[in-house]
Amino acid sequence: MDQAVKKGATRRDFLYLTAGAMGVVGAGSAAWPLIDSMNPAADTLAAGSTEVDLSKVEVGSALTAVWRGSPLFIRHRTPEEIKSVRDMDWKSLRDPQKDEDRTLKAEWIIIKGVCTHLGCIPLGQKAGDPRGEFNGWFCPCHGSQYDVSGRIRKGPAPLNMFVPPYKFISDTVVHVGSGHDFPNPGF
Amino acid sequence: MSGSQEKEKFNNKTIQWINDRMPIFSMLNNEYGKFPMPKNCNYFWNFGAIAMVMLVIMIVTGVFMAMNYVPSTAGAFASIQHTTREVNYGWLLRYMHMNGASFFFIAVYIHLFRGLYYGSYKKPRELVWIFGVVLLLLMMATAFLGYTLPWSQMSGWGATVITSLFSAIPLIGGGIVTWLWGGFSVGQPTLNRFYAFHFLLPFIICAAVFVHVWALHVSKSNNPAGVEPKSEKDTVPFHPYYTAKDSFGTAVFMIVYFAVVFFAPLILANPDHWKPFNSLQTPPEIVPEWYFLPFYAMLRSFTVGIKVAGVTLLTAKQQGVLAMFGSILILFFVPWLDKSPVKSARYRPVFKWALRLLVLNMVMLTYAGALPAAGKALVMGRIGAAYYYFFFLVLLPYLGKREKTLPLPESISADYAAHHGGGAMKKALIPAALALGLALAPHAARAADTPPLPNLHWPEQGIFGHYDMAAVQRGFQVYKEVCSNCHSMKYIYYRNLESIGYTKEQVKTLAATYQITDGPDENGQMFQRPGRPTDHFKSPFPNPETARAALNGALPPDMSNLVNAREGGPNYIYAILTGYVPAPKDFHVMDGHMYNEYFPGHQIAMPQPLVAGQVQFQDGTPNTLDNEARSVAQFLDWASNPHMEQRKRLGIKVILFMIAFAGILLATKRKVWSDVT
Ligand code: FES
């Protein structure tokens, strides 16, 4: 084959390939703004913190606040409840975590009240609600059961309920959305 | 659909002119005119056409629903209420659309079963099958998206649960869920995008249907014998033979569909669909639509993670999600899982029963999926999932190699001669009945810790039932004097009362007794004015928070939809009103609660609202508790279903018309087919 023709052919292949590759990169980059536009908008992201007054929550009772559109479960735990979640073999749990790693003050458990299975709101905040075998929360959707530390004990959910970042700005007021970051492995 | 090259001749000049430039009429003639169809296809072959008709119905009713729909978290539920209550024939649009989805699935599931039973997925029709499975997936997505739009309790929580399935993906799952939601929970951005996609997908479905049919028209239709046509004698042209047969089958299907739309439009819907979405409270039971239940049952039946040496490989959640998605995706591989040279199950004695068992298995899964996730439901779910996968992964390949098949008929003509007129129609009715049973199975599965509701006779019951307006008016009096102190009815206008027999003047006077907040006026001030017939019923509390503060934390539900939002309808209302009895000795009733026999959990925050003698009925009816409870139940039934009488009247006409139409189509079909031997 003629050298010049062959050289022309190689060059053509190169140009084809380059043009094709650039087309793909261009189309791909054009797709990103579309995809990213579906992520939470700036104002949604900004509306991320809330303050809750705990002064009226008596020992043994619960309060449900709202944080980022989801319920925030707050429970004022009794000494027995604290004992039940601390004096135990936490290493054998499905999502092994110490209660100490999930609370700032032993008597307050503060978690995002969303079942880690498929996102339902577990029951157990209101008097008369079923709380499951571990006296914590019971998810009505597919029967997940959580203890008073919000750790998954039974049922299909894989993880403990999420502990949001928070800090106490006074003895009885808690700021949720920033502050102490809890480990929450798996999230 | 390949356009033919040779010029066709048409008598009509305009048609000829167009066809010479764009051979659309040639194409139609080739694909729907003389297109050769095996002549032995039975009534199972109707369901493709029926599905197509349902698709058109869904698109048309959907577009008109969209004209009244407001995709906002604050307005969606109200706009659907407005459509059903105030828009002319809005109730018809909604009930056709809502039940249309179910009937679309019935048609498609039978169509799919047909494909499996007669081996329509085998060479050379693999692509037809694959596009069919793509269509099924698209349909499921569309149905799910549509389910979320009314923004009811079921909508919002269904959306939460299904989108959360993606959180099972390791590492990026959480990010994907946030991306799908456009926020940190299901909310406004979610609703907006779901609406956009619900509108878009049907058109993609149309395109996929086109490809599905295109592939079919290249490989041509299969038939119950599963042998390919050998000569011209084996086939008949599509028109008029199958146009006639399809039309008749479709008409029969439509009769059943319309019967549900006009006489039992809520039979397939969950009562929680009549409660607005509350993002802070999950209903006690989440149940998807019946057509997803078998897959949902599989999803729920895994509860133990797989661990190897202390490391979790697959969590229970991941297993469930895999089992669920896998059950659909596995269908893509059916043409390669089943290598049997014989197509039709008719000549595969073992496969036939294995497949019938699969159908029963799906019925069991549907039933299990509707039960609360515990005990029996989990066991059935596991057995069902096991057989499902056993069928596709073990039985199909094994039988394909080992099964001793029966001798095939010589040709389609021979088969036609043998089976002609042999109850094929009756056979098509069996799966149709099964599918309907499947759709209704969830009703059988409702669990209860309360005694069965009283089963009273209501005048509005039945095909010819209508409201007893005197009772409805008495019921309104009870609502006005008792219930309305706590319960709102915010979707009802005062002028709606004209339809229960009050005169314009009466309504005007009544409305004027209420003070309505209006404004702002030109000074920017809100002001009070007397109510007008065009106002909604005034709510006892300006907002839910005031209600809670006044009533000890309890929130009385809005009563506009109460009858539809409660399992048992008017019977439930009656039962609650008459169900206040002393608590059993060992039962602890919480502070601020009463014991009620029929209330789920028995603890009700509402003090006994009605006692005998409470209301002095204007028409002199004795004011026993029974009478008071009955009349208010009837009033609330009217409020929930104000168009019930119009609906049934129109329904009778439509059904009679369709029966006559089907009769004519059957006669036509018989005449057309009389020359086929
Ligand atoms: S969502 Fe809680 S158990 Fe499924």
Distance CA B252, CA B232 (A): 31
CB contact under 8 A, B601 and A71: no
Query: So what's the pLDDT on residue B54?
Result: 97
Q: What token pair was written down for B122?
A: 């085998």
- The answer to whether residues B225 and B412 touch, using CB atoms and an 8 Å cutoff, is yes
B278 and B259, same domain (yes or no): yes
- The answer to whether residues B633 and B574 touch, using CB atoms and an 8 Å cutoff, is yes
Ligand 1 pocket check for A118: Cβ under 6 Å: yes
Ligand 1 pocket check for A117: Cβ under 6 Å: yes
B222: Cβ–Cβ under 8 A, 6 or more apart, which residues?
Answer: B38, B118, B119, B120, B125, B343
Q: Which long-range contacts (CB under 8 A, 24 or more apart) does A28-37 make?
A: A35/B179
B144 and B228, same domain (yes or no): yes
Query: So what's the pLDDT on residue B3?
Result: 45
Q: Which residues does chain B have within 8 Å of residue A74's beta carbon, measured at their own beta carbons?
A: none
The tens digit of pLDDT for each residue in B118-153 reads: 999 999 999 999 999 999 999 999 999 999 999 999
| B550 assigned to some structural domain | yes
Min Cα separation A107/chain B (Å): 24
Give the mean model confidence (pLDDT) for residues A139-147: 87
The pLDDT of residue B594 is above 80: yes
- The answer to whether residues A161 and A71 touch, using CB atoms and an 8 Å cutoff, is no
Range of the domain at B638: 469-492+536-642
B430 and B542, same domain (yes or no): no
Residue B501 to residues B170, B413, B554, B623, B631: CA-CA distances in angstroms?
Answer: 62, 66, 34, 21, 15
Q: What are phi and psi of A16, to 5 degrees?
A: -55, -50
Rounded to the nearest angstrom, the distance between the alpha carbon of B483 and the centre of ligand 1 is 36
Element (H, E) at A11: helix A3-36
C-alpha angle with apex B487: B482 to B489, nearest 5 degrees?
110
Question: Which among A38, A71, A155 has the least Cβ separation from residue B303?
Answer: A155
If one counts every other C-beta atom within 10 angstroms of the C-beta of residue B193, the result is 17
Q: What is the ipTM of this complex?
A: 0.79
* Best CA proximity match to B171, nearest among A186, A38, A40: A186
B184 and B280, same domain (yes or no): yes
Q: Which residues does chain A have within 8 Å of residue B179's beta carbon, measured at their own beta carbons?
A: 35, 38-39
Judge residue A31's burial from the number of C-beta atoms within 10 Å of its C-beta, 0-12 exposed, 13-18 middle, 19 or more buried: exposed
Rounded to the nearest angstrom, the distance between the alpha carbon of A120 and the centre of ligand 1 is 6
Distance CA B662, CA B249 (A): 8
The tens digit of pLDDT for each residue in B197-251 reads: 999 999 999 999 999 999 999 999 999 999 999 999 999 999 999 999 999 999 9
B431 and B479, same domain (yes or no): no
Ligand 1 pocket check for A114: Cβ under 6 Å: no
The tens digit of pLDDT for each residue in A3-29 reads: 777 777 788 899 999 999 999 998 988
Ligand 1 pocket check for A140: Cβ under 6 Å: no
CB-side exposure of B600: number of CA atoms within 13 Å? 12
Which chain B residue shows the shortest CA-CA distance from A138?
B284
Q: Which residues does chain A have within 8 Å of residue B190's beta carbon, measured at their own beta carbons?
A: none
The pLDDT of residue B352 is above 90: yes
What CATH number did the domain enclosing B584 receive? 1.10.760.10
Query: So what's the pLDDT on residue A6?
Result: 75
> Is A79 at the interface with chain B, CB within 8 A?
no
B147 and B252, same domain (yes or no): yes
- The answer to whether residues B648 and B465 touch, using CB atoms and an 8 Å cutoff, is yes
| B553 assigned to some structural domain | yes
- Quick one: chain B helix, strand, coil %, rounded to 5? 60, 5, 35
CB contact under 8 A, A39 and B182: yes
CB contact under 8 A, A69 and B174: no
Which chain A residue shows the shortest CA-CA distance from B167?
A118
Which chain B residue shows the shortest CA-CA distance from A69?
B185
* Best CA proximity match to B334, nearest among B405, B399, B385: B399
B574 and B662, same domain (yes or no): no
CB contact under 8 A, B280 and A187: no
B158 and B255, same domain (yes or no): yes
Best probe of the B interface among A117, A138, A184, by most B CBs < 10 A, is: A117
Distance CA B485, CA B130 (A): 59
Q: What are phi and psi of B513, to 5 degrees?
A: -75, -10
B433 and B578, same domain (yes or no): no
Q: What is the DSSP code (8-state) at residue B583?
A: P
Mean confidence (pLDDT) of chain B: 91
Question: Which among A38, A120, A158 has the least Cβ separation from residue B286?
Answer: A120
* Best CA proximity match to B73, nearest among B155, B140, B164, B146: B155
Residue A157 to residues B189, B316, B387: CA-CA distances in angstroms?
Answer: 26, 7, 25
Q: What are phi and psi of B468, to 5 degrees?
A: -90, 95
Q: What token pair was written down for B234?
A: 């084996």
Question: Which among A128, A143, A187 has the least Cβ separation from residue B603?
Answer: A128
B659 and B585, same domain (yes or no): no
Query: Which ligand 1 atom is at minimum distance from the Cα of A157?
Result: 3
Distance CA B581, CA B122 (A): 65
CB contact under 8 A, B281 and A121: yes
Mean confidence (pLDDT) of chain A: 89
Q: How many domains does chain B have?
A: 2
Question: pTM, whole model, 2 decimals?
Answer: 0.90
The pLDDT of residue B1 is above 50: no
CB contact under 8 A, B280 and A118: no
Q: What letters, b where the CB count within 10 A reaches 16 and e where it falls short, cover A65-80?
A: bebbbbbbbbbbbeee
Q: Which residues does chain A have within 8 Å of residue B157's beta carbon, measured at their own beta carbons?
A: 120, 141
What is the band of B257 on the pLDDT scale with cuts at 50, 70, 90? very high
Strand partners, B596: B580
Q: Give me Rg for the CA atoms of chain B.
A: 29
B669 and B595, same domain (yes or no): no
Q: What token pair was written down for B362?
A: 């799906």
| B116 assigned to some structural domain | yes
Distance CA B342, CA B16 (A): 45
Q: What token pair was written down for B107?
A: 């048609």
Distance CA B601, CA B593 (A): 11
B659 and B623, same domain (yes or no): no
What CATH number did the domain enclosing B144 receive? 1.20.810.10
Query: So what's the pLDDT on residue B6?
Result: 59
B555: Cβ–Cβ under 8 A, 6 or more apart, which residues?
Answer: B544, B547, B548
Helix (H, G, I), strand (E, B) or coil at B463: coil
| B196 assigned to some structural domain | yes
Residue nearest to atom 3 of ligand 1 (CA): A142
Q: Give me the total of CB pairs closer than 8 Å, taking one residue from chain A and one from chain B.
A: 98
CB contact under 8 A, B280 and A64: yes
Helix axes B644-673, B243-263, angle to 10 degrees: 160
Rounded to the nearest angstrom, the distance between the alpha carbon of A87 and the centre of ligand 1 is 27
Distance CA B479, CA B473 (A): 10
Q: Which of B363-372, B415-424, B481-490: highest mean pLDDT?
A: B481-490
